[in-house]
Amino acid sequence: MRTSCTSSRTGRNLTLRPKTEHDILQQARIEQDTDQWRRRYGHRAGVEGTIAQGVQAFGLRRSRYRGLAKTRLQHHFTGAAVNLARIDAWLAGRPLAKTRVSPFAALRPAE
pLDDT, one tens digit per residue, over 17-36 is 999 999 999 999 999 999 99
Query: Is 81 part of a structural domain of the chain?
Result: yes
103 is a domain residue: no
Residue 30: which of 14, 22, 105 has the closest Cα? 22
Does residue 110 lie within any of the structural domains? no
* Mean pLDDT for the chain overall: 87
pTM for the model:
0.56
Query: Would you say residue 106 lies in a domain?
Result: no
Q: Give pLDDT, residue 76.
A: 93
The number of domains in the chain is 1
Q: Do the domain assignments include residue 86?
A: yes
- Domain interval for residue 79: 17-96
Angle 77-80-82 (CA atoms, 0-180°, nearest 5)?
110
pLDDT of 2: 63
| 111 within a domain of the structure (yes/no) | no
